[in-house]
Amino acid sequence: MPRKRKVKLTHLARDGSPRMVNVGSKPVTRRRAVAEACVTVGRAIASRLRREGGLAKGDVLVTARLAAISAAKQTATLIPMCHPIAIDGIEVEAVVEGPRVRLTVEVSAEARTGVEMEAMVAAAVGALTVYDMVKSAGKGVEVGPVRLLAKEGGKSGRWTRAGDGYAAR
């Protein structure tokens, strides 16, 4: 019978209490992460977003991009165990695909720890911004999934989500 591999949760101390990982001795390397979030808005709202760029509150996709950028920069204040990171770049793409909006966020930095959380938080907040801006047009709007597509840098190197057609840039 194969042995079960013990999963190590780095943000938990031996006694199970939460802790912030000490990254002081890790080398600074180029870090990059790409995350996405989808918002199912329905065909009518999606059609309006394609036609007019937005609803009464303004251009939905532009506002979502700005919210995502702002959120990435605030990640360490939102997620207790995240280290503040000097982000070098944030790219946000927001597109209407069929009945949904897809936000793709790429974050890069020279740092001792990865930028996966910055990319994920940015994608999630961008998606929630879309939700906020279109909710008056339909109550059935749904956010999700929010997921990491790729990351590179650090000890674990490069990782890309397999099987969903995402190709790392």
Residue 93, SS3 per DSSP: strand
The upper half-sphere exposure of residue 103, i.e. CA atoms within 13 Å in the direction of its Cβ, equals 36
21-31 CB burial, b ≥16 within 10 A, e <16:
eeeeeeeebeb
Q: Report how far residue 85's alpha carbon sits from residue 107's, in angstroms, rounded to the nearest whole number.
A: 11
Q: Report how far residue 80's alpha carbon sits from residue 160's, in angstroms, rounded to the nearest whole number.
A: 26
Nearest to 57 by CA among 137, 119, 111, 121: 137
Neighbours of 55 (CB within 10 A): 16
Residue 29, SS3 per DSSP: strand
DSSP string for residues in 101-132: EEEEEEEEEEESS--HHHHHHHHHHHHHHHHH
Q: Please identify which of the residues 59, 88, 132, 164 carries the catalytic annotation.
A: 132
Q: Is 15 among the residues known to form the active site?
A: no
Q: Which residues are catalytic?
A: 132
